[in-house]
Amino acid sequence: MVGHTGADKANEGADPMLWLILGLLIFLGVHSVRIVADDWRNRAIARVGEGPWKGAYSLLSLAGLALIVAGYAEARLQPVPVWAPPAWTRHAAALLSLPAFVLLVAAYVPGNHFKARLDHPMLLAVIAWALAHLLSNGFLADLLLFGGFLLWAMLAYGAARRRGGLPPSTAPSLARDVVVLVAGVAAWAAFAVGLHAWLIGVAPFG
């Protein structure tokens, strides 16, 4: 009889779904402090200082993200089906990802009308991205990952809107809108045509 090594037993006991869930709890939990305890967050920053707060925030975020990536990658090797998305949903998801890229770029380009009107385009980008991937993926790990980010982004967007946005530092201009659109579409095309298949192993239009 062949005995099991300690490494084999450790691997057998490591459930990738648990790593994924733990990573989501840490990452989204850290990013939810402002949603559920904004006053406590402000008091904590005043007490410990902005530098230590940002340091702890960054370390926890990185730890959570690492667990999400590792857990999701392993869970994809042992998929648990929940539903079977039709083939057309992959193409629909690729198209729905287009506004996600445009909104993501809008979050970083100052003085564009998208950011001025929507206040928090980054969160809207996450919502569009999560919806697109929920539409085209039917395994349990997919539902946990994209469903978790969708719920968090919706709650975060609502909380951010209630807090009110800061006035734009630069007046919006049509030229910057064009930059946002061109850069967003270019990034989306790069991912749709090649990068998504290379990084994730799935070709959106394949």
What are the tens digits of pLDDT across the range 28-74? 999 999 888 888 999 999 999 999 999 999 999 999 999 999 999 99
Give the pLDDT of residue 206: 62
Tokens of 43: 């008091």
Tokens of 32: 């939810």
**CA pair distance 122, 95, nearest whole angstrom:** 18
What are the tens digits of pLDDT across the range 110-147?
A: 999 999 998 899 999 999 999 999 999 999 999 999 99
- 13-17, 18-22, 91-95, range with greatest mean pLDDT: 18-22
Question: Is the CB of residue 193 less than 8 Å from the CB of residue 97?
Answer: no
In sequence order, what are the residues at sequence separation of 6 or more whose Cβ sits closer than 8 angstroms to the Cβ of residue 25? 64
What are the tens digits of pLDDT across the range 140-193?
A: 999 999 999 999 999 999 988 888 766 666 788 999 999 999 999 999 999 888
Q: Which helix (H) or strand (E) holds 118?
A: helix 113-118
Measured CA to CA in angstroms, residue 102 lies from 145, 174, 189, 192 at distances of 22, 15, 11, 14
Give the pLDDT of residue 12: 53
Global confidence as pTM:
0.85
The beta strand positions in the chain, using DSSP E, are: none
**CA pair distance 111, 124, nearest whole angstrom:** 18
- Bridge partner residues of 139 (DSSP): 81
Q: Is 156 helix (H, G, I), strand (E, B) or coil?
A: helix
Phi/psi of residue 139, each to 5°? -90, 160
DSSP structure class, residue 167: P
Give the pLDDT of residue 7: 43
Question: Is the CB of residue 87 less than 8 Å from the CB of residue 46?
Answer: no
Give exposure, 100-131, as e/b (b: 16+ Cβ within 10 Å): bbbbbbbbebebbebbbebbbbbbbbbbbbbb
